[in-house]
Amino acid sequence: MAEDWSKIDRDWAKLEMKLKVYGLAQAKKLFAIVTARDKLLDQHEKAFRAAIQGAIKAGVKGDTLKELSVHKPVVAAQSDLDADCREITTEVKTLSTFCKECEVLGDTVEKLSDAVAKLLKSSGGKAPAPKAKMVDKIEATRKELHEAATFRFKVDKFLVAFPKQYPAWLKHVVEKELEKGSGEAEKQREKEADKEGFSAEAFEDRAAELEALRKKVAKALAGAREALKEDLRNAAQLVKEANTDVTRMRKLLAEAKAQRDKFKKEIALLKDAKKILKLVDGLPEIVTEADAELKKVGTELKKAVSAK
């Protein structure tokens, strides 16, 4: 029995030499380094995204990181991410290797613990007084090493795969920011477009006003034609009113065309671009129709006056 305890003593003494650099405290320390790197990566990612947006706002053209890299803040931000990728590779590997070694040592200590359990069973469940502290230490170390080994599983899977996926991830981030930047730019242009008054609603209102004037002119001219038979003064008044409305129609049409030509690029970026351009293209017909009818009735009025 004494020889058995002596063997436990020797085996434990060999293990204790190795256990000086292994344990729960070191596992937590290495895990804390990885966790800190994760937070730093998050900060650098945000800075990288902001740099891309800065490049877009600065007017840098391009759909790739290489093209955007003419903007110095993008280069600096990517440099930080490149460094993170290198460090993550090392830090995650260091933690993983350490945890695996803890697991192997833990299994060895567990075998020693099993041997102690057998000795205790054969001795009535009690260790000799000088060995009691050692028994407790072996059991505590077994638990600690197995807990330390689990820290490699606590690392975010994203970080574990990050080094291999880094190029694809970087490309994805750039694409998303370009998409976001384009969307934000479009929203800004739409706001500016609304301020300038060339939204779809503004053109719809103008078209509605022209249509209302067309009907008014048509009614006035129909009345003038009827009045030509008996009341030339009334006919002349109606033609005058129609002429005023047609003049207003010409002005509205000119404004719509000028606005379309001046803000052609901005309008093209609006969601309702096709609708707006279709409305503007249809306006001349309304004015032309009213103008032609006015000239006909005007000519008829002149003939009637001359004949009288």
How far from 195 is each of 51, 188, 199, CA to CA, in Å? 29, 11, 9
Residues 235, 179: Cα–Cα separation, whole Å: 62
Residues 142, 167: Cα–Cα separation, whole Å: 41
Q: Among the listed ranges 66-75, 136-145, 185-194, 286-295, which one has the minimum average pLDDT value?
A: 185-194
Contact assessment for residue 126 and residue 120, using Cβ atoms and an 8 Å cutoff? yes
Tell me which long-range contacts 117-121 makes (C-beta under 8 A, separation of at least 24): 119/1, 119/4, 119/5, 119/8
Q: Decide if pLDDT at 147 tops 70.
A: yes
Q: Among the listed ranges 41-50, 112-121, 185-194, 283-292, which one has the minimum average pLDDT value?
A: 185-194
* pLDDT for the residue numbered 29: 94
Q: Among the listed ranges 35-49, 138-152, 172-186, 230-244, which one has the minimum average pLDDT value?
A: 172-186
Contact assessment for residue 251 and residue 295, using Cβ atoms and an 8 Å cutoff? no
pLDDT digits (tens, 9 = 90+) for 217-245: 888 878 877 877 777 788 788 888 888 88
For the chain, percent of residues with pLDDT exceeding 70? 85
pTM score: 0.55
* pLDDT for the residue numbered 39: 93
CA-closest candidate to residue 240, choices 215, 253, 221, 259: 221
Q: Decide if pLDDT at 32 tops 90.
A: yes
Contact assessment for residue 98 and residue 26, using Cβ atoms and an 8 Å cutoff? yes
Segment 104-109 mean pLDDT: 86
Q: Decide if pLDDT at 254 tops 60.
A: yes
> Residue 212 is which amino acid?
A
Q: Decide if pLDDT at 33 tops 90.
A: yes
Q: Decide if pLDDT at 263 tops 60.
A: yes
The size of the chain, in residues, is 308
* pLDDT for the residue numbered 286: 76
For the chain, percent of residues with pLDDT exceeding 90? 18
* pLDDT for the residue numbered 42: 92
pLDDT tier for residue 81 given thresholds of 50, 70 and 90? very high
* pLDDT for the residue numbered 300: 75
DSSP assignments along the chain, one per residue: -HHHHHHHHHHHHHHHHHGGG-SHHHHHHHHHHHHHHHHHHHHHHHHHHHHHHHHHHTT---SSHHHHTTSHHHHHHHHHHHHHHHHHHHHHHHHHHHHHHHHHHHHHHHHHHHHHHHHHHHTTT---GGGHHHHHHHHHHHHHHHHHHGGGGSS-HHHHHHHHHHHHHHHHHHHHHHHHHHHHHHHHHHHHHHHHT-SHHHHHHHHHHHHHHHHHHHHHHHHHHHHTTT-HHHHHHHHHHHHHHHHHHHHHHHHHHHHHHHTHHHHHTSTTHHHHHHHHHHHHHHHHHHHHHHHHHHHHHHHHHHH-
> Residue 32 is which amino acid?
A
Contact assessment for residue 99 and residue 35, using Cβ atoms and an 8 Å cutoff? no
Residues 108, 220: Cα–Cα separation, whole Å: 107
Q: Decide if pLDDT at 259 tops 80.
A: no
